[in-house]
């Protein structure tokens, strides 16, 4: 693995991470959303990466382009050139008309030296190894400066990421259960655990601490939950509204 991914060093006591950018006020997973999150003081960006038919890592959450663009179709069946012609902003608000689906390379270029990144690998079609190799190639050429975590719900994707990026900081995503976390840590050498808010219980947080894993919780859009999690010692919060969450926490202090 060429030099690039390194174990992150947290830039703040509690990381505030823009979930798909500042997705409460700009179209998710677009450069506009990422710029908004950085402008709001986010310590990092969380975003999803998939492969186009021609093997380019792009930033899009769903397996299809239907929900967040003007087009229709499965991402894995569409070439980059076709996806780039789609409008990825006007579904959210007219003023975002013309926003495009960004590539991973463009997103890393935007964030470089400004904040960290949490890259979630989306692999549902048996393309885990191909996706991990493509992402590794982009990262190697990005000269990225800042902390970086590669995360996924997909266990094959995490194993593929470890093979393609031996020094990467890996994050174990969970939405329903933390089952397998200990064994996964032994096998993969994880850096972090990323539970859904409903999974962030004392027992699971204690397990993560016992394993010496950082904990990044998602999605956290309520300052009361944020304060509770901060008191419990989590390392980061992924939020749709970085500015709003910070303001809520500060006003309650």
Predicted local distance difference test score (pLDDT) of residue 253: 65
Residue 130 has pLDDT above 70, yes or no: yes
Has residue 140 been placed in a domain? Answer: yes
Residue of 61, 185, 194, 196 marked catalytic: 61
Tell me the whole-structure pTM to 2 decimals.
0.94
Residue 241 is given by DSSP the state: -
**The CATH number of the domain where 119 resides is what?**
3.20.20.190
Reading the block at residue 47, the tokens are: 């975003």
pLDDT one-digit tens code per residue, 101-117: 999 999 999 999 999 99
Cα-atom radius of gyration of the chain, to the nearest Å? 17
- From residue 28, give the alpha-carbon distance in Å to each of 13, 19, 51, 60, 253: 26, 8, 18, 8, 30
* Terminal CA-CA length for the chain: 44
pLDDT one-digit tens code per residue, 56-69: 999 999 999 999 99
Has residue 9 been placed in a domain? Answer: no
Specify the length of the chain in residues: 253
Q: Are 235 and 191 within 8 A, CB to CB?
A: no
Has residue 166 been placed in a domain? Answer: yes
Has residue 189 been placed in a domain? Answer: yes
- Residues 200-213 have a mean pLDDT of 97
Predicted local distance difference test score (pLDDT) of residue 124: 84
Q: Are 127 and 56 within 8 A, CB to CB?
A: no
d(CA 171, CA 162): 11
d(CA 253, CA 248): 9
19 is catalytic: yes
Has residue 174 been placed in a domain? Answer: yes
List, in sequence order, the alpha helices (H) in the chain. 31-39, 80-84, 104-111, 128-142, 155-164, 181-188, 202-210, 223-231, 242-252
Has residue 72 been placed in a domain? Answer: no
Number of domains the chain is built from: 1
Predicted local distance difference test score (pLDDT) of residue 248: 86
Could you tell me which residues come within 8 angstroms of residue 205 by beta carbon, excluding any fewer than 6 positions away?
215, 232, 233, 234
Predicted local distance difference test score (pLDDT) of residue 3: 33
Q: Which residues constitute the domain of residue 205?
A: 15-63+101-252
Has residue 196 been placed in a domain? Answer: yes
Has residue 248 been placed in a domain? Answer: yes
* Paired strand residues for 216: 236
Residue of 19, 185, 194, 196 marked catalytic: 19
């Amino acid at each position: 693995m060429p030099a690039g991914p390194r174990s992150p060093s947290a830039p703040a006591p509690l990381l505030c991470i823009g979930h798909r950018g500042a997705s409460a006020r700009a179209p998710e997973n677009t450069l506009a959303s990422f710029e908004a999150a950085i402008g709001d003081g986010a310590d990092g960006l969380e975003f999803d990466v998939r492969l186009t038919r021609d093997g380019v890592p792009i930033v899009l959450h769903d397996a299809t382009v239907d929900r967040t663009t003007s087009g229709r179709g499965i991402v894995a069946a569409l070439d980059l050139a076709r996806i780039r012609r789609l409008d990825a902003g006007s579904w959210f608000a007219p003023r975002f008309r013309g926003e495009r689906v960004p590539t991973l390379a463009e997103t890393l270029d935007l964030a470089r030296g400004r904040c960290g990144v949490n890259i979630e690998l989306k692999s549902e079609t048996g393309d885990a190894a191909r996706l991990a190799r493509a992402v590794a190639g982009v990262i190697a050429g990005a000269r990225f400066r800042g902390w970086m975590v590669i995360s996924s719900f997909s266990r094959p994707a995490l194993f593929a990421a470890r093979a393609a990026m031996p020094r990467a900081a890996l994050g174990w995503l969970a939405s329903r259960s933390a089952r397998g976390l200990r064994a996964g840590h032994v096998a993969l050498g994880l850096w972090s655990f990323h539970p859904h808010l409903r999974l962030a219980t004392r027992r699971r947080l204690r397990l993560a601490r016992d394993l010496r894993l950082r904990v990044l919780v998602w999605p956290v859009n309520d300052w009361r939950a944020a304060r509770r999690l901060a008191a419990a010692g989590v390392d980061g919060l992924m939020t749709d509204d970085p500015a709003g969450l910070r303001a809520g926490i500060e006003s309650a202090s």
